[in-house]
Chains A and B, each alone.
Chain A
Amino acid sequence: MATSFKAIATATLTSTATSITFSSIPQTYTHLWIMGQAGTTATDAPAIYARPNNITSSSYDYANIYVDSGGITQRNALNTDRSLGLLDMTDSTANSSNTGFEIVYPLYKGGLGNNTYLFNANSQRTATSVSNQASWGVSNVNDTNAITSIVFSLQGSGTRSFAAGTKITLYGLD
């Protein structure tokens, strides 16, 4: 395969962690693409946050299409600290891969207003298929700076952890 889709870094957890950080992201690509699988030790369905430049304030807006056993809905939130819309997960058995996701950051070096990015996710929240959920959407953060870091965390202000085996890869596109 040619090299226009390049792995910049991969984070693989060998033990639990409350956050995962990609820092010093090279400013030599045109777009960024993330693919990951994540589990958690929490049992209360915390949402995943993926915060560009570690912006933790309520500076995010999102719209998504969301489906679970209750049907399909659309959601729209403004001025929230949820950086990926609804992307909940839970696993009482500390599964390492109960949520799979991808995030695309077009034009991550800025220059065209706020950073706006797309996400897709599928989460199996318990062992029963009726608890599967999927979400497709867009997030906007009120930040026009180049994205130099992305910090993954879980809803709950650092009190919940990603499970060992969680693996996230950051790619750069020429």
Chain B
Amino acid sequence: MPTNTFEHIGTTVVSGSSTTSIVFSGLSSWTNVIFVGRIQPNATTTQMNVNLGGTQIFQQMYSTGTSGTALPVTSRYTGAGSCDLTVNGCTSAGGGGVSFKAHLIKNGGSQGFFLCEAGFEFNAGRMEYTVSNCFSPTNVTSITLGFFGQVIKAGSTISAYGVMI
């Protein structure tokens, strides 16, 4: 078992046009896991999500203000079988997909906190930045990332790095 390390677990690069999700499994060996990536839906506008397993809840704050204005930061909260990581959809026509980084904090294997920052261009140059915490009350041994009901575009890439302390 690795100790005192920041180790590349793996990188998934989507190829073809039929991938609907990206799964990282075998996460039991790590104290915490860091994810970095950029993914884009293949065709239609949709939200990015993560599934940690178990009944999950999430909280978010996000910026999707109109250009040139300063607006109150908005938040939302819900419980679900998976967690939204973005509020709006990511159109495949513009922008460069959803860029994100996330930390999976495993709390000794008893719970999972998936702290995620995600940002992207979603509508004719309009940007969104979202900070989320997805919580699972069970041990997280694998996660599934993707878009609700949509195929992931080829070239989309996610890397996972394990931290063992």
Q: Which residues of A contact B (CB under 8 A)?
A: 1-2, 4-5, 30-31, 33, 61-66, 72-79, 104, 106-107, 111-118, 120, 136-140, 144, 173-174
Contact = CB atoms under 8 A, between A and B. Distances in A.
Interface of B: 2, 4-8, 11, 36-38, 40, 61-74, 94-101, 117-121, 125-129, 131, 153, 155-157, 159, 161
Contacts of A104: 36, 99, 101
The dominant DSSP class at the B interface is strand
Contacts of B5: 1-2
B101 to A, nearest CB: 5
Contacts, number: 157
B119 A138 contact: yes
Given A65-B129, A112-B97, A74 B71 contact: yes
Given A1-B5, A72-B73, 14 more contacts: A5-B161, A30-B36, A61-B126, A74-B71, A76-B126, A76-B127, A113-B40, A113-B94, A113-B97, A114-B121, A118-B99, A136-B117, A137-B119, A174-B11
A85 to B, nearest CB: 9
Nearest to A32: B36
